[in-house]
Structure 1
Amino acid sequence: MKTASKNLIQRIEPPFWFSDMHNPELQILFYGKNISQCQITIENSSAITNVKRTDNPNFIFVTINTRIIQNKIFEFIFKLKNKIVFIQKYELKERRKNSATRKSFDASDVIYLLMPDRFANGNDNNQNDSHLNEKYNRELPGGRHGGDIEGIIQHLDYIQSLGATAIWCTPLCEDNEKEFSYHSYAQSDVYKIDPRFGTNEDYLRLAEEIHRRGLKLIMDYVTNHWGLEHWMVKDSPTPDWIHRFENYTQTNHKRSTISDINAAEIDRFVCLNGWFVPTMPDLNISNPLVFTYLCQNAIWWIEYANLDGFRVDTYNYSEPEYIAQWTKAITDEYPNFNLVGEITMRNQGLLSYWQKDSPIGKIQNYNSNLPSVMDFALSDALQIVFNEDDDSWDQGITKIYDLLSKDFLFPNVNNLLIFGENHDSKRLNQIYNNDIRKYKLAMTMLATLRGIPQLYYGSEIGMAGDQNLGDADIRRDFPGGSKGDENNAFNPETRTECQNAYFNFTSKLFHWRKTNQAVHFGKTTHYIPENNIYVYFRHNSNQTVMVIINNHPENQEFDTKRFEENIKNFTVGKEVLNHLTFKLSAPISIEGKSALILELE
């Protein structure tokens, strides 16, 4: 039998940990050739609460109670036949002050979603890595285009000038797939930033620069799957680390089977256990070792990089009981930490099921513990209604009214993430044929409806993209992000007139939004649309905002008497973008396909 030898440790995960955590138990993975043959001790032997060996001799999992450990740096002693083979140091780092009570993102924020590879290239020296398969090729639409962390850092002022207050980057951890690795959702190492984006230290610097500006950093976290090239997919600790099938089995993507009381068990099983795509093996989160690994990895990134929130990819593809426990493990450590789950469902009842304390989930005795969900129902509507001039019973802007009429289903409607588009959807400017009037209508609603608005990079300068041509077309390079680009849209002096028109409107709108608490956390009162004019109010005890959406192509005039319930004793409305004043006792005129936001006085 081959035996362990000196210097055999190839990996330690987590590579270090933190003292004074809420949960004192820490599971440490040691990986190396035949390492499981070793006996492991530390100075205070009672601190080791469990040693787990698996069928794979290259792994050993050691659980310690960190509260018993006296020294911040301590030693694991590895022995064979009572002889010391090697000694491995391990560190418990000090936490940041007030780390556990960190403030997260909420409805006062505006999130800017960007794809790092497509945003900006700030370092030409990291475009390729000798250890990674895919190489730089900007000529290939689905290839790696060279964007990186340094590029984001160099353009934080741009993002801030737009009025955004939080940044969500699609994943930055290593993805070693042979193609389409730029999106990094098929990760091959979840403790390491992809070298083509930068280093772990670069990511820390990004967080520091973001926080220095008073912005927030949201990490895109993936619990459901890794990539085929992940080192633990190639050499798994246990046979059931990922879900395996005799023949390749893909998820049916029918997440309604999870809450469907009539669903066949086989359909539910395939939904949860089938692979997302052939290059993304499905993680078995019900395996205790996998579950703890994912909990600790998520917490490690929060603590290490000083994160302000998570967007959790494919949240409801994981076993419901365990993904709820994973979420709770994070919020137990960080009670104010916000996580928004990607719940790609268009029905409000099914969406509500996945928000924490949902009345729908309660019917089935289920609580996801997930504070926020992505409002795909509203997104779908925002991609349709401004092309519909008919406002009959359930058409046109009435679709938005009908959606909001179901807000009672959500336990925390102000904590929904609202958006018109993202990296997986059609581009608004493509749908609306770069009609800036319709773009303005969509942005106005995002800025004033309940929830947390999310913008998608490039739309603020008029970027479009045809999803029918493939995902790469809705993930185009930001103009000016690479040397040699003919057009630099980061700079107002080199933007086109059209780009400036888009940007200036968006910036003015979302900078205004920062000032108004009523649109952050206030109540909503809305009125049935008439003649394709939709009027709603956002209000609290101190402020009232009246929003008027004219989805009709023609100019219209309407009487305000119907809205006395909210107008009350206010006499004028100050329009927030062009600083016009409207008398509330007189009829209001509004241009076709346009909006008015009035602060009432």
Structure 2
Amino acid sequence: MNRQIVFITFLTFFVSHLAAQSIAPLDRVEPMNWWTGMQNPKLQLLIHGNNIAAREVQLSNYPGVTLEKINKVENANYLFIDLTIAANTQPGSFTITFLSKNKKDKKLTYNYELKAKHTDAVRAQGVTNKDLIYLIMPDRFANGDKTNDIVKGMRETTINRDSMFYRHGGDIQGVIDHLDYIRDLGITTIWMTPEIENDMPHASYHGYAATDFYKIDPRYGTNDLYKIYVDKCHEKGLKVIKDVVPNHCGSESWFMLDMPMKDWVHVWPKYTQTTYKDQPAMDPHRAEMDWKLQVDGWFVPSMPDMNESNPYVANYLTQNYIWWIEYAGVDGFRIDTYAYNDLQFMANWMTAVKNEYPKFTIFGETLVHSIASQAFYCDGNVINQGFDTKLPGITDIAVKDGIYESLNGKFGWMEGVSSIYNVLSQDFLYKDPTRNLVFMDNHDMSRYYSMVKEDLNKYKAGLAMLFTTRGIPEIYYGTEILMKNFSDPDGKVREDFKGGWAEDKINKFTAQGRDEKENDAFNFIKKLANYRKTSEALQTGKLMQYVPENGVYVYFRYTDNKTVMIVFNSNDKEVSLATKRFEERIGNHKSARNVVSDAMLSNIEMLNVPAMTTWVIELN
């Protein structure tokens, strides 16, 4: 979309209501239902309809429900209704009536349902360092329902698997169809890129340009199907992370086409993009304009920046995410573009979510420039931030870079094998670094296998470190079958998983469809991931690391009952490693088992570690 056109559209806000004839008399009530038993008794309903503000609002008498205030805003097509739902309110429904002063207009009614809050322990259970996350782009994983490939009335109606920019037809049913594959691989948690409606004209398969915050994209399925997906995951012992985007929406969002008020989003005199800089957030010498550009500038022209300091926007977003937790029972959120949000809003939002769901997990995408910058965004005010973000964990890009540099050798200020040691030595900056997400790639980055130059030894060595270091590990779909490519453009790292479409001639979901090297990689991940599932040392054990020497990095994960020793040999030749140096942690252990090969090591006083290999050995 032309940038000037974007701003001409938004600066003509005051005449947006002229299009009211295309708006139904009562177009939307959001959230469309709510629950009793919530910790916060306050609820704000967004009402959208043609000149709805001119109508009188009445609520049928319902014990425990009080109409506190009716808020009229700049656009007469909106009302915001404040309700209080008392703690002892019973499930049921009440009627909201909208009466017109014009006797020719019929009264409008909405039957508002209050359901009982769920109490199942398996819902909103949180994702922890006991878990292993599998990241999926649903459009590119598997097509389980061809009937929703093209949906009439949507702005993009093309399926073209030969193009990286068009939709390919993958959907939620496709993920459901492969839950056993995911579980058997050793995964415990699934994170899909956003599933909600992205009714944009082009290339919105990624999901980060929402046009309806309360609706699953019809090309992926329905709200009901999404709930079924979460339930089936829970039945199979899998958890679910939902990817959420409070920072921005799609320019074709329904409320952008008829904005409630001129400051619903950040509007500038001309198009103004974020600087993509994180430093102003923490810079004690910053210019306030730089901070404003960071958080109020738009991410891209097609993604308007939500004004989270607007209390109506703040309520809308907070209630929406709580609605999805309670509706579907998801276990955690990944927050997209966290560093570009209003931090006070995010802290308030975090508190509201955790008040309702204490075990719920939240981590933010912080692709920033230093370990201190990452720690700044985490909760606890432990490094003199002067502010507590309340954010439990972040996407730990420093660990990713540390592992890459340890595998690929010295680069710039990095120090080869010492890089990951150096990164972890700064964990004192965090309140709890075990809540950070550790990863090697994702949908925005060059694929891991390509980044290690398609070297299978490096591939295994790095994944072994990823699965055994502190934090919550994540792998991107296809890592287990050596999918490759560089992110220039991003579409190259978002290829289809072969076998996910009925017309595919090869099915890499099966051993028969994979070649020898792919099966080797798959079996390596499966073996180590399933071991991690049962290892308290790797899940919750403490970490002790030793200063690397002679290209070898050694660390331990341990509890009172179990000790796992990890040895990374970054050299291009075998190393004989005397272990007396590590007796502080080895203690009285004399033997060990290689958890990948199952080979027994009867004497661990000297270890002969092959070139470019990470050994994971359980001490006996």
TM-score (norm 2): 0.93
Distance (Å, rounded) in 1 between the aligned partners of 2:23 and 2:89: 25
Distance (Å, rounded) in 2 between the aligned partners of 1:137 and 1:63: 46
Q: Deviations over 1:49-106 (max 9, x none)?
A: 1211111000001111122755611011212339772222100112222469842110
Which stretch of the first structure deviates more once superposed, 577-586 or 14-23? 577-586
User: Which among 155, 165, 174 is matched to residue 178 of structure 2?
Assistant: 155
Partner of 2:12: none
Partner of 2:405: 384
Matched residue type, 1:77: T
Distance (Å, rounded) in 1 between the aligned partners of 2:604 and 2:251: 65
Distance (Å, rounded) in 2 between the aligned partners of 1:7 and 1:143: 32
Partner of 2:448: 428
SS class of match (1:537): strand
Q: CA deviation at 1:554?
A: 0.7
Partner of 2:365: 342
Residues 7 and 430 (structure 1), Cα distance of their counterparts in 2 relative to 1, 3 Å cut: closer
Say whether residues 1:371 and 2:388 are aligned partners: no
Where do 1:141-290 residues align within 5 Å? 141-290=164-313
User: Which among 39, 59, 82 is matched to residue 56 of structure 2?
Assistant: 39
Q: Deviations over 1:174-232 (max 9, x none)?
A: 11111111101001001011111111111111111101101001100001000001011
Q: CA deviation at 1:509?
A: 0.5
Partner of 1:359: 382
Say whether residues 1:456 and 2:476 are aligned partners: yes
Distance (Å, rounded) in 1 between the aligned partners of 2:480 and 2:411: 28
Give the conservation status (yes or no) of the 8 Å contact 1:79–1:86: yes
Give the conservation status (yes or no) of the 8 Å contact 1:4–1:35: no
Residues 57 and 200 (structure 1), Cα distance of their counterparts in 2 relative to 1, 3 Å cut: same
Distance (Å, rounded) in 1 between the aligned partners of 2:395 and 2:534: 24
Which stretch of the first structure deviates more once superposed, 68-77 or 86-95? 68-77
Partner of 1:25: 42
Distance (Å, rounded) in 2 between the aligned partners of 1:438 and 1:405: 23
Q: Deviations over 1:323-373 (max 9, x none)?
A: 11111110111111110111111311111111121402xx23211111111
Q: Deviations over 1:234-258 (max 9, x none)?
A: 1110100000011100000112201
Matched residue type, 2:44: Q
Distance (Å, rounded) in 2 between the aligned partners of 1:534 and 1:365: 36
Which stretch of the first structure deviates more once superposed, 207-216 or 425-434? 425-434
Q: CA deviation at 1:396?
A: 1.3
Say whether residues 1:541 and 2:560 are aligned partners: yes
Residues 5 and 69 (structure 1), Cα distance of their counterparts in 2 relative to 1, 3 Å cut: farther
Distance (Å, rounded) in 1 between the aligned partners of 2:291 and 2:22: 46
Q: CA deviation at 1:263?
A: 1.0
Matched residue type, 2:50: K
Q: CA deviation at 1:436?
A: 1.1
SS class of match (1:454): strand
Distance (Å, rounded) in 1 between the aligned partners of 2:497 and 2:309: 40
Distance (Å, rounded) in 1 between the aligned partners of 2:342 and 2:596: 47
Distance (Å, rounded) in 1 between the aligned partners of 2:294 and 2:60: 47
TM-score (norm 1): 0.96
SS class of match (1:379): helix
Where do 1:519-598 residues align within 5 Å? 519-584=538-603, 586-598=605-617
SS class of match (1:441): helix
Say whether residues 1:123 and 2:151 are aligned partners: no
Matched residue type, 2:53: S
Partner of 2:31: 14
Give the conservation status (yes or no) of the 8 Å contact 1:101–1:335: no
SS class of match (1:50): strand
Say whether residues 1:324 and 2:372 are aligned partners: no
Q: CA deviation at 1:6?
A: 12
Give the conservation status (yes or no) of the 8 Å contact 1:357–1:367: yes
Which stretch of the first structure deviates more once superposed, 2-11 or 510-519? 2-11
Q: Deviations over 1:116-137 (max 9, x none)?
A: 0000011111111112111212
Give the conservation status (yes or no) of the 8 Å contact 2:556–2:563: yes
Say whether residues 1:512 and 2:534 are aligned partners: no
Give the conservation status (yes or no) of the 8 Å contact 1:391–1:532: no
Distance (Å, rounded) in 2 between the aligned partners of 1:392 and 1:185: 33
Distance (Å, rounded) in 1 between the aligned partners of 2:605 and 2:360: 46
Give the conservation status (yes or no) of the 8 Å contact 1:465–1:476: no
Matched residue type, 1:89: N
Matched residue type, 2:578: D
Structure 2: gaps of 5 or more residues:
1-16
Aligned residues: 597
Give the conservation status (yes or no) of the 8 Å contact 2:592–2:604: no
Distance (Å, rounded) in 1 between the aligned partners of 2:52 and 2:305: 26
Residues 285 and 315 (structure 1), Cα distance of their counterparts in 2 relative to 1, 3 Å cut: same
Partner of 1:498: 517
User: Which among 476, 479, 493 is matched to residue 474 of structure 1?
Assistant: 493
Give the conservation status (yes or no) of the 8 Å contact 2:405–2:419: no
Distance (Å, rounded) in 2 between the aligned partners of 1:426 and 1:6: 44
Residues 596 and 119 (structure 1), Cα distance of their counterparts in 2 relative to 1, 3 Å cut: same
Q: CA deviation at 1:541?
A: 1.1
Give the conservation status (yes or no) of the 8 Å contact 1:573–1:581: yes
Give the conservation status (yes or no) of the 8 Å contact 2:405–2:415: no
Residues 54 and 407 (structure 1), Cα distance of their counterparts in 2 relative to 1, 3 Å cut: same
Q: CA RMSD in A?
A: 2.1
Distance (Å, rounded) in 2 between the aligned partners of 1:573 and 1:6: 70
Q: Deviations over 1:15-49 (max 9, x none)?
A: 11111111011111111000001111113497011
Distance (Å, rounded) in 2 between the aligned partners of 1:392 and 1:179: 39
Distance (Å, rounded) in 1 between the aligned partners of 2:81 and 2:523: 55
Distance (Å, rounded) in 2 between the aligned partners of 1:481 and 1:509: 25
Matched residue type, 1:176: D
SS class of match (2:129): coil
Distance (Å, rounded) in 2 between the aligned partners of 1:399 and 1:4: 62
Say whether residues 1:79 and 2:102 are aligned partners: no
Which stretch of the first structure deviates more once superposed, 477-486 or 331-340? 477-486
Give the conservation status (yes or no) of the 8 Å contact 1:440–1:594: yes
Which stretch of the first structure deviates more once superposed, 569-578 or 95-104? 95-104
Distance (Å, rounded) in 1 between the aligned partners of 2:413 and 2:100: 77
Q: CA deviation at 1:267?
A: 0.7
Distance (Å, rounded) in 1 between the aligned partners of 2:128 and 2:142: 27
